[in-house]
Amino acid sequence: MRNWFTTHRVLFGKFSAGLCLLIGVGLFPQDLTAEGKAPASLVALEEAFVDAAATAERAVVTLEIHGSSTSLEGLPSGMERFFPMDGLGSGFIIDSKGTVITNHHVVHEAESIDVILNDGRQFKAKVVASDPSSDVGVLEIVEPPDDLPVVALGNSDELRVGQFALAIGSPLGYERSVTFGHISALHRSSIGERGPGLVAPGFEELTLQDFIQVDTPINPGNSGGPLVDIHGRVVGVNAAIMAAPGGGLGFSIPINLALRVARQLIAKGEVTRGWLGVRMSDNNPAQADAFDLPTSQGALVVEVFPGSPASDAKLLPDDLIVQVGSRVVRSSRDLVSAVATAELNEALPLTVFRKERGTHQRRRVQVVLTEQPEGMKAASRAGATSTQPETTERSRSRAEDERSVESRGGRDIDRAYLIRGLGIEMVPAAGTRRVGLEVADVAPRSYAEQAGLAQGDVILEVGGKTVVTLPQVRRELQGSERPFISVVVRRSGRKRYLSIEVPR
C-alpha cells in the first residue's frame, strides 16, 4: 500500500487467541473432553478458516509499486518520510488472462509495477485503468503464464452482519498474511468525512461509496487485497482504515461493485454512473419534528430537475426518500451512493414519504436511471446526485443576492426587523421576484446561526406558512408548541429547508 496508507501504524491488536478461547470454552462446552483435547466443533471451525485462506491466497498477489508521488507537495516538514517513492500493495487475479483488481490509490501514480505471485514468481504489469471515485484499479499482467491461479468470487449482495471475514495481503510488507474477524456493518457511505481517527485523507472525494465495515485487522499493505468469506470466496476489496486509540475499523469495497466498475474500466476506460436528477438535503431529528416528517432519516428532495429520470418518475419537491431498492437511505450521501451504483435503464423502486391531505403517506415510485449528462458528472459532496449547471435565471438570482448584500453596507437600521430570541435581523426583500424577508444579519452562536441561516437568505415560510412581514413570523413562532419550527429560505436562487429551535 502506498501514498495515503503508508502513514498508518499498526492499528489493530491481535485477538485470535481470545476469540478461539471464547468459541472453544464458551460456545462449545459440551465438546470438551476429559483429556483436554480441542473440541471437535472448534477444530472444524479452524479447518474452515485454514481451507478458506488456502483457497483464496493462491490468487492473491503482492504489488511492488515504483514511481514518484505528487502527494508530497504541501506536506508539513518531516512528513515526506511517510510517503516513500516506492511502496507495496495487494491485489488478486480474477481471470486466466492475468487481470488483477486492486485500489486506485495503490496504482494511480505508478511508473512501473511488479506482480509477485503466491509461489514467488514475478511478472511485470500495466495499469488498464483506475477510477478515483470508487477507488477501484485494474491491472493486466504482461505475458502471463498459462497456469495462473484465479480467485473464487462471492456475492456481496448476500452478505450479513456477523459473518466471518478474512483479509489477505501484504500488510506492513509481510507478504501472504491472513487476518480474520467479522463483518460489523454494511452500506457505509460516509468514509472520508474528516473526523478524529480518520487515516484515509482523500476518501471524502469518493462518490461511489457502499463500503463493507469489518473488524478484521487491516494494515498498510492490505489495500487492494481481497476480503474473503469462510468459504474462500472474495466478497470485497480492502481499501481504507479508520484508526482509534486501541483499535479501529476496516472498510472494503463490495466485490459486486468492484467488478461492475472493473468491467467498465476494461471496456471503455471510464465508469458510467446513474443519474436521478434531484437536489436534496439531509433529514435530521430537528427537521423531522419541524416538518412533521415520519422519520428522522432519509434524503429530502429540494428540487427535481426538468427532463430528469426523477421528473419522469413524478418525484416531487418535499418527497422524503427513505429507501432505494432494498437499501435503506439514512442520508443524502446514501442516496448518492445508491444511485451511483445502481444499474442503468432498469426499473428501480424508491420508497418515499409524500405529504398528502395533511399527512405523510408512504409511496413506492419506479424510476429508470440514465447516464449522467455531460456537465453533471461531478456528484456534489453536499448532497446532490449530480450537480445542475446554473441556468441564466439562477445566475441572475445569485447576482441579485450578491448585489443586495453588497449594497447594504451601512444598511438602514430603521428598516430592519429584529427578533432577539433567534438572533436575527431582517429587512423586506427588494424586487418583485424577492418577496419575503431578507436576512440582514445573524448573531454569532444564536439559534439562527445554529440552524444554518445566513446573511442574504430570503425567508419564504415559517412553520409551513408563507411569511412576508415580521408579525407573521412572530405569530408562527409564538404559536409553535414544538421545540423546533420549520423554515424555508431561498439562497442563490434555490430553496433550502431548515429547522430553528424556538426561543422560549
- Active-site residues: which are they? 105, 135, 223
Partners of 65 in the beta sheet? Answer: 87, 113
The Cα–Cα gap between 64 and 79 comes to 22
**Of the candidates 264, 269, 275, 235, which has an alpha carbon nearest to the alpha carbon of residue 252?**
235
Note whether 117 and 98 are within 8 A (CB): no
Contact partners, residue 400, CB within 8 Å, separation at least 6: 431, 433, 434
User: Residue 37 carries which side chain, given as an amino acid letter?
Assistant: K
User: Can you read off the three cell numbers belonging to residue 418?
Assistant: 429584529
The Cα–Cα gap between 141 and 135 comes to 20
DSSP codes joined into one string, 410-456: S--GGG-EEETTTTEEEEEPPSGGG-SEEEEEE-TTSHHHHHT--TT
Enter the DSSP assignment of 380.
B
Residue 98: C-alpha distances to residues 102, 125, 147, 226 (Å): 13, 9, 10, 16
The Cα–Cα gap between 102 and 135 comes to 8
**Cα 349–Cα 488–Cα 298 angle in degrees, nearest 5:** 30
Spell out a b/e string for 298-330, using b for 16 or more CB atoms within 10 Å of the CB, else e. Answer: bbbbbebbeebbbbebebbebbbbbbbeebebb
The Cα–Cα gap between 488 and 497 comes to 5
